[in-house]
Structures are given as structure tokens and as C-alpha cells.
Amino acid sequence: MREEIKRSFRLLSVIIFLCCCTSLEACSNADKDIPQDSGKVAEIKGRGLLLVGTTGDYRPLTFCEPDGTYWGFGIEMAKEIAEQLGVNIEFVKTSWPTLSADVQAVPQLFDLAIGGITITDERRETMLMSEGYLENGKTILCRTTDTQRFQSLKDIDEPNVRVMVNPGGLNEKFARENLTHATIIVHQKNEEIPSLVAVGEADVMITEITEAPYYVQTDLRLAAPLMDKPFTHGEIGVLMQKGQEDLLEFVNRVIREMKANGKFRQLKEKYFKIQK
């Protein structure tokens, strides 16, 4: 009886040993099937640096001071993305006329672009765009003394009205498509246009509801009489090169978290103190 028990114990030991070996081999093979960390997110983490393209001329979403310091709603959002990636951040200057080409450049100039970039079907055809994080729409800036003069798009589209826009972006496109009678003036530096309108170099600036409040708040000579009736409706998002779907999903996750935890609300209170 005792010998039978010993034989049974030895048999059980052999079975357990074979099962363990099989399990270890299966685990080893499973590890081989797990894809190694790869893609754009892994590249950024390996580099230890997130490269962010931004125009730096679009207060209060992105602005570059003379000393090279960047600030704004979009800048803080970019820093949040970098923080969640666990990397440092570096801002790369781009421009509205060259934005699409810069995003799609090979080799890449930066990992993503941020700061007042409206989501459009045209951009989505050739690039990736994140979920929207800020409502946007076309409106105008004019002198406070002209508030009653400009109460509609029709009031602006007159031969004696000088409309100033920055080149290459959606503001110029909107003006040329909708203001066929007004005089359109293209000025290279977007951040200079509000002050030029204030001193009478132009009558109207085509801008957006995300930009106009800042200038109305900081320059009493300016008004935005159509803030509550924007000509278009859209959202601002993050722009990046196709083939970076993993980074796109990461950015979308950050956007959702910032909406849920109140960080976007805090940024809106900080940068958009007035709405008219």
C-alpha cells in the first residue's frame, strides 16, 4: 500500500512538472506575441521631448514674446500633453501660410501643431485632427466708434470698408469668399492687425470668437459687436501628420480628461474673461 502511494506521488510530481514546463513555454511564446513599444508616442518618450508647432501670433491661444517665451490657452494644453507623456517640451515656430506644409514635412519639423487651429474637412483629408476642445467661429473687430456701423456681414461688404486679414489662413479665405465688395488688405503679422484697426489703418479685422475678446479687453478703442452672432461655427483642435494614430488617441484622451477634471474650464476663466 505504501509503495502504491509513493508511485502515485512520483506520478503526480511528474505531471505537475510537465504542466509547469508547458505553462512557461506558453508564457514565453505569449511574450513574443506582445508587440514591442513602438509608434510616435514611443518615439517621443524615447527622445524625452515633445516638439510642438505653433504660430505664436494668436492671442490668447498662442503667443511668443520677444524673449521667446510662449504663453496661451493652447500652450498650456500642449504642456499638459507633454506632462502626461512624461517628457519635456519645445515650441517650434510655424505660420498660417505654411502650417499644412510644415505639419506634413519629411523629416518632421514637429510632432503636432496647436493654437487656434480650426477643425475642417479639408485638413482632415490630408492630416489628422484631434477632437475639438474649444468652440470657435468667425467674427470681427472694429473701432468702438463703429459699433453701430457694423451689425451684419452685409454692412461690412461695402466698397468703402477696408477689411484686414492675415495671409494664408481661414480668415483670409473667409474674407475672399464672403466679402466681394469690400477692400481686403493682407497684413503679414496677425498680432499687429488689431492695433492697426484701432488707429484707422483698416476698418475691420476678420478674426474669431476665441481671439476677439482678448483685444476688446485690453484695448478700449476696439469692439466686437457680433461676438454673439458668429458667421461660422466650428471647433479648435490639435493637428498632426497622418500615420500618428497612437499619438492622436493619446491627445484625444488628454482632451477628454481635461474636460472631465475641470482644467479646460479653468483655462477658459483665465484667458476668456469676457465674451463680448
Same domain? For 154 and 217 the reply is yes
pTM over 0.85: no
Q: Where are the beta strands (DSSP E) in 96-218?
A: 112-113, 128-129, 134-136, 138-143, 162-165, 183-186, 204-208
**Cα(257)–Cα(4) distance, integer angstroms:** 64
Q: Is 49 a domain residue?
A: yes
Q: Is 179 a domain residue?
A: yes
Same domain? For 56 and 115 the reply is yes
Tens of pLDDT, residue by residue over 239-270, are 999 999 999 999 999 999 999 999 999 999 99
Q: Is 246 a domain residue?
A: yes
Same domain? For 82 and 164 the reply is no
Same domain? For 48 and 161 the reply is no
Q: What's the pLDDT at 3?
A: 52
Percent of the chain past pLDDT 70, that is, above it, reads: 85
Same domain? For 150 and 87 the reply is no
Q: Is 60 a domain residue?
A: yes
Report, as an integer, the average pLDDT of 194-207: 98
Tens of pLDDT, residue by residue over 26-57, are 444 433 333 345 799 999 999 999 999 999 99
Question: CA dist 248 to 34, 84, 98, 99, 104, Å?
Answer: 22, 14, 21, 18, 15
Q: Is 113 a domain residue?
A: yes
Q: Chain centroid to CA 276: how far?
A: 23
Hey, what's the cell of 207?
478674426
Domains in the chain, number? 2
Same domain? For 156 and 197 the reply is yes
- Average pLDDT over the chain reads 88
Same domain? For 240 and 129 the reply is yes
Q: Is 73 a domain residue?
A: yes
Q: What's the pLDDT at 272?
A: 84
CATH number at residue 159: 3.40.190.10
Same domain? For 131 and 142 the reply is no
| Identity of the amino acid at 72 | G
Q: Which residue has the higher pLDDT, 98 or 31?
A: 98
Q: What's the pLDDT at 32?
A: 38
DSSP category for residue 118: B
Q: Is 249 a domain residue?
A: yes
Same domain? For 198 and 183 the reply is yes
Q: Is 229 a domain residue?
A: no
Please give the residue range of the domain that contains residue 171.
138-223
Same domain? For 130 and 47 the reply is yes
Same domain? For 142 and 206 the reply is yes
pLDDT band at 22 (very low <50, low <70, confident <90, very high): very low
Same domain? For 153 and 238 the reply is no
Q: Where are the beta strands (DSSP E) in 18-56?
A: 49-54
Report, as an integer, the average pLDDT of 220-244: 96
Q: What's the pLDDT at 63?
A: 96
Q: Which residue has the higher pLDDT, 2 or 106?
A: 106
